[in-house]
Amino acid sequence: MHGKCGCNREATEHGIPVAGRAPERMRRPAGEEKRGNKRKPRMRLDVLVPTLNRAPLVERAVRSVLRAQQPYGLVVHVTVICNRCTDDTVDRLAVLQQETPGRIAVIHERRRGKSRALNAGFAATTGDLVGMIDDDEEVDSQWLIRIAAAFTDRSLDFVGGPYVAVWNARSPKWVPEDYLAVIGDADGGPEPREYGPEFHPMLKGGNAVIRRSTLYRVGPYAEYLGPGTYSRLFSCEDEEMHWRLVKHGARGRYLPDLVVYHHVSPSRVTPEYFRRWCFWRGVSRGLMDRRHPLPVRYLAGVPRFLCGRALTSLVRLASTPASRRDPASRMADELRLWDLAGYWYGRHVYTLARFSPVQSRRKAPTPWPAPPPAEVVTTAGLEGVIGPDDDFLIPGKPAA
C-alpha cells in the first residue's frame, strides 16, 4: 500500500510513521512573523474528530494530529465531539489539553449519530478549513503539510486521500479486494486526480478537508445517514456529501500522499460483520436514492446493474461447489446479494417516520451558522476577499 500511495518511509512505530520535529527549513526564525508592521496572513484548520466511547482510540488519533509536522502559515486546532460518551474520553482529553494548551477543544452532542456530531463540530468552529478524521485513525506525519500546500490553490474547494489499513493480524484469505472499504482500506491510485466524472472514487469523510465557505454553499451532513443514527452500520453520509459537492460545482482533488492509517478492529474481520455492513450500506443507499436517484435504469425501484450483478453472483454460487472456488471470490458473490437486499429494503420498506429522510418535528436540527458577509482568504502567501456566493444553500432557507 505504501508503494501505491507514496506515503513516507521514515522510522516507524507499530508500522506507522512517527513525526519528529519539523525540519529547520520549515521553522520560522523568531521575529520573522511580522514584516514592515504587517502580519503575514495565516490559514486556520479545524480538525474534527467525532467519537463514542472509544477513549484510547480517540486519544491516539488526536496525538497523531498534534505530533504531525505543522508548516508555517497553518494554524491547527483539534475539536473532539463526544457523542454521548460515558467512558473516560473526557478525562483523557483533559490531560491532552493540559499538555497542549489552546490546541484542543471538547464539545458534546447528545443527539446520537456521526453526521450530527460533525455538524455540531462545524457549528462550533470558525477555521478557514474543516478537516475530518475518524477516531480509529492516525494521520501521516506529512498530513498537515500536504493540506497547506494544496490549499495555496484558491480555486480548490476540498481534498481527500487514501486510507492505509493497519492490521493487528494477517488479512484472512476470504476478504475480497472489492470490499476492503468494509475494514477501512481505500486507495484511489498513485497519482493526484481531480474528483469528477473521469475519477470515480469519492471523498471519504475519514480523510477529508473542505473549505468552510464551500460548506456554507452545500450545507451540513445529512443527519438521516451515517453510523450511530439509527443503526451502528448506517453509512453513505460521505457519499451524499460528495454528491452535493459535485452538484454545486465544488472543485476537489484526490491527493495520494494525504495519508491516514486506519486500525482494523478484529471484530470487523468476520464474515458476519461483512454481511451486516453490506446490508446496511445497501439500506443507506436505498434511503439516499429517494432524494438523489442515480442516472441509470431501474428495475423494481433498484438500479438495474445491481440486479444483474446479484443475479450473476447467484448463478455462480449455485453452480460451482464451494470447495472449487477461491474463498475471496465466493464471499464477494455473497456480499453482492446482501448489497441488493439492503438497497431494496431501504428503498421500499424502511419507511418508519423516525427513519425517514424528512426532518423529524421532535428533534431540533443542529444549528448552522449563516455565512459571514465576506470571508477573508488567509491562504499562506496569498490574501484577498471573497463575497458570499449567490448559491448558498442554508438549512431552513429555500434555494432561490
What CATH number has the domain bearing residue 133? 3.90.550.10
Domain assignment present for residue 57? The answer is: yes
Q: Which residues pair with 74 in a beta bridge?
A: 43
In this structure, are 129 and 257 located in the same domain?
yes
In this structure, are 169 and 242 located in the same domain?
yes
Average of per-residue pLDDT values in the chain: 82
pTM recorded for the entire structure? 0.80
Report the alpha-carbon distance of residue 218 to residue 392 in Å, rounded. 7
Given a cut of 50, whether residue 374 has pLDDT beyond it is no
What is the extent of the structural domain holding 243?
Answer: 2-21+42-265+367-386
In this structure, are 181 and 282 located in the same domain?
no
The pLDDT of residue 370: 57
Domain assignment present for residue 361? The answer is: no
In this structure, are 227 and 318 located in the same domain?
no
Decide if 262 contacts 148 (C-beta within 8 A). no
**For 69, which DSSP code?**
-
Decide if 113 contacts 226 (C-beta within 8 A). yes
In this structure, are 232 and 311 located in the same domain?
no
Nearest Cα neighbor of 41 from 387, 385, 372, 388 is 385
Please count the structural domains in the chain: 2
Domain assignment present for residue 114? The answer is: yes
CA atoms within 13 A on the CB side of 112: 12
Kind and range of the H or E element at 64?
helix 55-67
Domain assignment present for residue 35? The answer is: no
In this structure, are 76 and 206 located in the same domain?
yes
In this structure, are 224 and 79 located in the same domain?
yes
pLDDT digit string (tens) for 34-48?
A: 444 455 568 999 999
pLDDT digit string (tens) for 205-240?
A: 999 999 999 999 999 999 989 997 566 689 999 999
- Grid coordinates representing 334? 455473497
3-state secondary structure of 335: helix
In this structure, are 200 and 277 located in the same domain?
no
- Grid coordinates representing 196? 469528477
Domain assignment present for residue 37? The answer is: no
Residues 294-329 as b or e (16 or more Cβ within 10 Å = b) = eeeeeeeebbeebbebbeebeeeeeeeeeeeeeebb
Kind and range of the H or E element at 121?
helix 114-124
In this structure, are 194 and 339 located in the same domain?
no
Confidence of residue 251 (pLDDT cuts 50, 70, 90): very high
Report the alpha-carbon distance of residue 261 to residue 253 in Å, rounded. 19
- Grid coordinates representing 156? 480548490
Higher pLDDT, 11 or 283: 283
To which residue does cell 454545486 refer? 248
- Grid coordinates representing 116? 450530527
Nearest Cα neighbor of 215 from 158, 162, 291, 258 is 158
Given a cut of 80, whether residue 20 has pLDDT beyond it is no
In this structure, are 236 and 330 located in the same domain?
no
- CB-neighbour burial class of residue 185 (10 A; exposed 0-12, middle 13-18, buried 19+): buried
Decide if 321 contacts 258 (C-beta within 8 A). no
pLDDT digit string (tens) for 160-176?
A: 999 999 998 788 999 99
Domain assignment present for residue 393? The answer is: no
Higher pLDDT, 41 or 153: 153
In this structure, are 128 and 189 located in the same domain?
yes
Domain assignment present for residue 261? The answer is: yes
- Grid coordinates representing 205? 469523510
In this structure, are 134 and 231 located in the same domain?
yes
Domain assignment present for residue 397? The answer is: no
